A and B are shown apart, each in its own frame.
Chain A
Amino acid sequence: MERAERLLDLVALFLNARGAIAWSEIQEAFPDDYARGSPEANIRKFERDKADLAELGLTLTYVQGEERDKDGYLLDRSAYYLPALTLAKDELAVLYAAGAAALAEPAFPFRQDLVHALEKMAFAAGADPSASRDWSRLSAPRERDDSTTLGRWVSEISRAVASRKSVDLRYQAQRSGEVTRRRVDPYGLLYRFGAWVLVGYCHLREDMRTFRVDRIVGLTVNAARPRSTDFEVPKDFHLSDHAITRPWEFHRHAPIDVELRLGPDLAFLAERTFLGAQLLGQNSRGVRLRLKVSDREALLRALLPLGPGVEVLGPDKLRQETRALLEKILERHRRHARASERAAARGSR
């Protein structure tokens, strides 16, 4: 019997059953599938089917019968059917909009599951068939996860996080470009500021590490014993502890306190880009802020495009570095462009 058909038959069988169904009865009902091989092979086959059913939302439990009840597999029907969802209009709109935004991303964890969630939600909310597709009209959802490398990695990492399987990475360091191989136990996955970040225990460094998913050049999920887990997530693990929040908070050096002045035009950024920074004072010249920085170069890269309205006040060393950087870029743009290009061309030979 075709696998898809057998699985649906099992759904129908259990939904219509009045109580537990004994293994012998299941074998009788599907003799070609569960009664032909060795007893071990038969039960293994059924266990595989049972796992697939669980992924569809149909969870079978094995019960020991009491008195006249028999041992067997039982499905709780009330736990199976989707109940009515009394979502208010604005709640439904929020979920549709969020779903559409997520599906328009090049990568999203469990994006196919998200599509199904939106469809079920539309159904349970009593939306008419045409309305149920509104979310897909809000933006252009991408066809499949695996159409991009990033999509494929995010999809595979998500599954590995959920099923607690180790992954083998080939990872390219941003600065050096060097590629290393390492085994990682994926504890969690974050999306921050446009980047997916894998957080996990790195067997190479024997410590917790974060990995930008877009720097992964190769990934395989540990294929051994696919139905069992490879690791436990420590009880004290909190994803938010590893959340990389701002570009200047990547751990490149010990954190330093940086003081900035934002001119009147930029003062509103204290509540946006620099949200969470300590407000030191405010006057007609703007606001003064103090923030923790552990990648000073990234901070300067973020500040330079903001223009003259932002000033590094301290520490003095960083203030001097900022000034030196501004002068260096200025100097480079003072040379005649042609001469500069010729110099570049010579350098390449």
Chain B
Amino acid sequence: MSATDLRERLRRLLLIIPYAVRNPGAPLAELAGIVSMTAEELAEELDFLMLVGQPPFAPDDCVDIRVEDGRVYVELDQALGKPPRLTPLEGLALAAAARGMAGADEGTIARALAKIEAALPAPLLPLYRDLSQRFEVARLPGEADMAALLRRAIHTRREVELEYFSESRGEHSHRPVLPRDLRYAQGHWYLSAYCLTRKGDRLFRVDRIREAKLTDRAFDRLPTEERPPAEPGEAPMPPVPPEAERPRLRLTGGAVIRYAKERFGAQALELLGGDPPQAILSLNGPADAWTVSFALSFGGAAEILEPEGLRTALRERLETALEAYR
């Protein structure tokens, strides 16, 4: 057993007894669920715990935890009936997550973390504080208020009216939505919601929401989630189009080719070689306005090859943009 596995096992064991003490007669299966084990695995661990105790290991010196009619009872806990404090690393992980990913107002996070800090062993507080300064999970400050409002809407199940800027369409739209949840991916927060205008699930990049208004209109339940939307503000990913109809981009340069390989996989790329190297990227989705934005995000390193309609759309966008420079 590796050192990590041993630690994991011990930590779990030190939590099993407290749960069993607090819930006398809890069904074995329920307790197993709490500690992420199968009932069989837990039964084995309970047998093991019967061996644990303090020297000289007379019967009264050992843990007495037994299963009767599928229910768990603790007769003797040998002072192991309460869990240990958070370790500095546990506190650290929780604090890093809360600071970077909570999407709530700073005050609530600060209050919660102060209480967590109080649950750390006092002698280890300096270590915790030192380590806290060496890990940082950051988010955009401007996103915090917006995320707090959206989270409130999600918890209270209320409709939200968004003023949303779609990058690919280059326009704002008014979107009443039923919020589902907030997701963090590729460095951005997204609101997953059922859009009442488009009648379907959409992802909205939180930093592209100009305004959000929490309405009084409560909803009971959301329509079942469709397949996850492909890209922000766009429709859920439709069935993959036949190969001949997929957008194809020509990429130039080793760095962008490596990036595309990481994001879309080697099978999406046809390497052409050359110096600088070139590759054809076949996208797995429909040809739409998003593809134009995506191609432009490579600077000059991507060219749309197909379909012709997207080349036209890209030209039109660039021609409009160039007017400001003439």
A12 to B272, Cβ gap below 8 A?
Answer: no
Assembled-state Cα–Cα distance A10/B141 (Å): 47
Is A291 at the interface (CB under 8 A from chain B)? no
B129 within 8 A of partner (CB):
no
B299 touches which one: A5, A57, A297 (CB < 8 A)? A297
Which of A118, A161, A307, A329 meets B135, CB within 8 Å? A161
Interface SS of chain A:
helix
Q: Which of B97, B116, B171 counts the most chain A CB atoms within 10 A? A: B97
Q: Say whether B138 contacts A98, CB under 8 Å.
A: no
Contact check, A123 vs B184: say whether CB atoms are below 8 A apart. Answer: no
Which residues from chain B contact A297 at a C-beta distance below 8 Å? Answer: 299
Measured between beta carbons, the chain A residues less than 8 angstroms from B100 are 98, 102, 191
Q: Within 8 Å CB of A116, what residues of B?
A: 11, 15, 87, 90
Interface segment among A38-46, A63-71, A201-209, A339-347: the answer is A339-347
Bound Cα distance A160, B308 (Å):
52
Interface string of B139-165 (1 = CB under 8 A from A): 011110000000100010000000001
Contact across chains for A243 and B250 when beta carbons are under 8 A apart: no
Q: Mark B30-53, 1 if CB is under 8 A from A, else 0.
A: 110110000000000000110111
Interface segment, B214-222, B234-242, B318-326? B318-326
Question: 8 Å CB contacts to B: which residues of A80-126?
Answer: 80-83, 85-88, 90-95, 97-99, 101-102, 104-105, 108-114, 116-121, 123-124
- Contacts A4-B9, A275-B141, A348-B272; is A162 near B296 (CB within 8 Å)? no
Q: Which of A12, A80, A81 contacts B78 (CB 8 A)?
A: A12
Q: Is the CB of A101 within 8 A of B272?
A: no
How many angstroms from the CA of A124 to the CA of B86 in the assembled complex? 10
CB distance from A195 to the nearest CB of B (A): 7
A308 lies within 8 A of B186 (CB) = no
Q: Is B93 an interface residue (CB 8 A)?
A: yes
Over the window 8-33 of chain B, the binary record of Cβ atoms lying under 8 Å from chain A Cβ atoms (1 yes, 0 no) is: 11110111001100110010001101
Task: Establish whether residues B112 and A87, one from each chain, have CB atoms under 8 Å apart when the complex forms.
Answer: yes
Q: A132 to B119, Cβ gap below 8 A?
A: no
Distance in angstroms between the alpha carbons of A4 and B2 in the assembled complex:
11
Q: Is the CB of A101 within 8 A of B167?
A: no
Least CB distance from B42 to A in Å reads: 13
Contact B305 A97 (CB under 8 A): no
Q: How far is the CA of A331 from the CA of B190 in the complex (A)?
A: 35
List residues of chain A with CB within 8 A of the CB of B55. 9, 13, 28-30
* Bound Cα distance A80, B63 (Å): 19
Contact B104 A97, beta carbon cutoff 8 Å: yes
Is B134 a contact of A55 with CB atoms below 8 Å? no
Complex contact A82–B83 (CB within 8 A): yes
Out of B83, B207, B303, which one reaches A333, CB within 8 Å?
B303
Cβ-defined contact, B85 with A304, below 8 A: no
Task: Check if B78 sits within 8 Å of A59, measured CB to CB.
Answer: no
Asked whether, in the complex, the Cβ of A311 is within 8 Å of the Cβ of B324, the reply is yes
Is A95's CB under 8 angstroms from B78's CB?
Answer: no
The closest CB in chain B to the CB of A80 belongs to B84
Known contacts A82-B86, A240-B136, A275-B140; A162/B123 CB under 8 A: no
Residues of B within 8 A of A192 (CB): 138, 187
Chain A hits for B314, CB < 8 A: 329, 333
B124 lies within 8 A of chain A by Cβ: yes
Whether A94 lies near B112 (C-beta < 8 A) is yes
- Inter-chain contacts of A108 with B (CB < 8 A): 93, 96-97
B264 adjacent to chain A (CB < 8 Å)? no
Chain A residues whose CB sits within 8 angstroms of the CB of B299 once the complex forms: 297, 300-301, 304, 325
A236 contacts across to B, CB distance below 8 A: none
B311 within 8 A of A: yes
Checking B207, B280, B315 against A273 with a beta-carbon cut-off of 8 angstroms, the contacting residue is B207
Min CB distance, B58 to chain A, in Å? Answer: 13
- Interface presence of A179 (CB below 8 A): no
Which residues 256-310 of B sit at the A interface, judged by CB distance below 8 A?
A: 258, 262, 272-274, 278, 280, 293-294, 296-300, 303-306, 308
With A114-B94, A330-B318, A348-B274 as given contacts, are A94 and B53 in contact (CB-CB < 8 Å)? no
Within 8 A of B (CB), among A25-76: 28-30, 52, 55-59
Cα-based distance from A91 to B105 in the complex (angstroms): 10
Q: What's the nearest-Cβ distance from chain A to residue B224, in Å?
A: 16
Counting CB contacts under 8 A, is B196 at the interface?
A: no
Instruction: Please report A residues at the B interface, Cβ cutoff 8 Å.
Output: 3-5, 7-9, 11-13, 15-16, 28-30, 52, 55-59, 79-83, 85-88, 90-95, 97-99, 101-102, 104-105, 108-114, 116-121, 123-124, 129-130, 132-133, 138-139, 158, 161-162, 174-177, 187-195, 214, 233, 238-240, 243, 265-266, 268-269, 271-273, 275, 297, 300-302, 304-309, 311, 319, 322-323, 325-330, 332-334, 337, 340-341, 344-345, 347-348
- CB-based closest 5 A-B pairs: A194-B187, A29-B55, A348-B272, A91-B112, A102-B97
Measured CB to CB, the residues of B under 8 A from A are: 1, 3-4, 6-11, 13-15, 18-19, 22-23, 26, 30-31, 33-34, 48-49, 51-56, 63, 78-80, 82-87, 89-94, 96-98, 100-104, 108-109, 111-112, 115-116, 118-119, 121-124, 131, 133-138, 140-143, 151, 155, 165, 167-168, 170-172, 181-188, 207-208, 210, 250, 254-255, 258, 262, 272-274, 278, 280, 293-294, 296-300, 303-306, 308, 311, 314-315, 317-325
